[in-house]
Amino acid sequence: MNRSFPQSSGTYESAAAQQERMRQYFASLPPYIQEGIHQSGVNLRTEAELRQFAENLMGYSAH
């Protein structure tokens, strides 16, 4: 059985599934945003953190 970690929505998702969702989202970003994330050196642990960081780089927030 995979270990699960709580998500902000209150649901549970395996670490492997979370990593795959992050990979897919990262791949969907424009190359200049991907490069900005790489160059920042920031440690993004969740998809929500990745999305927030990418949105900040793009100059807007989803909130």
pLDDT at 3 over 80: no
3-state SS, one letter per residue, for the chain: CCCEEECCCCCEEEHHHHHHHHHHHHHHCCHHHHHHHHHHCCCCCCHHHHHHHHHHHHCCCCC
pLDDT at 5 over 50: no
Domain boundaries, the chain: 9-58
pLDDT digits (tens, 9 = 90+) for 25-60: 999 999 999 999 999 999 999 999 999 999 999 996
| pLDDT value at residue 15 | 87
Taking a C-beta distance cutoff of 8 angstroms, is the pair 38, 12 a contact? no
Q: How far apart are CA 15 and CA 5, in angstroms?
A: 7
4 CB-side CA count, 13 A: 8
